[in-house]
């Protein structure tokens, strides 16, 4: 698996599972410079890797917000992913945002939901959590797994934490992503 595929799945699964099409687009509230840094822990094929995923709002007007995602796993930095252009007039759908690798077929099914307080990045957040099931096929590889995501309206980029466990082409893949830092960077 490439760093880009892992990062894309990480960024895609959580917000898609946690946000229904009837809700307002959460990116209407972001400002240029808003960012979130997530600590990631990935176990795949008997190897454990730690890294980060950083999402930063790089542009915004009344119609569109642009988010740059940079993933770092071990010593490998992947900043080549295309910027995500988010249409603010429509509900946010990451699968339509171009973050999933070309040719990926994916289905997310919501299982359960609830609320709880969660501490991450030095702050406590009122979160809504949801569990979900994901089935996908990318590059001829089957992915089937389940996860849990915690989201907070108090965080501009919304995701506080998520956990995901899957079978990927016959190998076990586990990934945890938790907010390490969030804020606003000025020019």
pLDDT digits (tens, 9 = 90+) for 134-179: 888 877 888 888 989 898 888 888 889 989 898 887 888 898 999 9
* Cβ atoms 136, 105 nearer than 8 A: yes
- pTM recorded for the entire structure: 0.80
User: In which element (H, E) is residue 17 found?
Assistant: helix 3-18
Q: Tell how strand 105-120 and strand 141-151 pair up.
A: unpaired
Tens-place pLDDT, residues 87-111: 899 887 644 554 456 667 778 888 8
Query: Mean pLDDT across the chain, nearest whole number?
Result: 81
- Locate the domains of the chain by residue range: 3-184
Q: How far apart are CA 70 and CA 34, in angstroms?
A: 14
For 3-184, CATH number out of 2.40.128, 2.40.160, 1.20.1420, 2.40.360 equals 2.40.360
Tens-place pLDDT, residues 14-50: 444 444 444 678 888 899 999 999 999 989 888 888 9
pLDDT of residue 19: 46
């Amino acid at each position: 698996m490439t760093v880009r595929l892992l990062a894309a799945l990480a960024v895609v699964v959580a917000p898609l599972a946690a946000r229904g099409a009837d809700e307002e687009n959460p990116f209407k509230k972001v400002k240029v410079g808003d960012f979130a840094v997530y600590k990631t822990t990935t176990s795949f094929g008997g190897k454990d890797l730690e890294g980060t995923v950083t999402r930063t709002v790089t542009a915004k007007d009344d119609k569109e917000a642009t988010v740059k995602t940079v993933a770092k796993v071990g010593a490998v930095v992947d900043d080549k992913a295309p910027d995500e252009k988010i249409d603010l007039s429509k509900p946010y759908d990451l699968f339509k945002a171009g973050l999933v690798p070309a040719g990926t077929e994916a289905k997310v099914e919501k299982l359960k939901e609830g609320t709880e307080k969660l501490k991450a990045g030095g702050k406590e957040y009122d979160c809504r959590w949801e569990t979900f099931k994901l089935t996908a096929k990318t590059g001829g590889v089957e992915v089937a797994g389940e996860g849990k995501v915690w989201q907070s309206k108090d965080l501009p980029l919304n995701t506080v934490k998520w956990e995901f466990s899957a079978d990927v082409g016959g190998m076990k893949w586990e990934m945890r992503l938790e907010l390490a830092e969030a804020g606003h960077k000025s020019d």
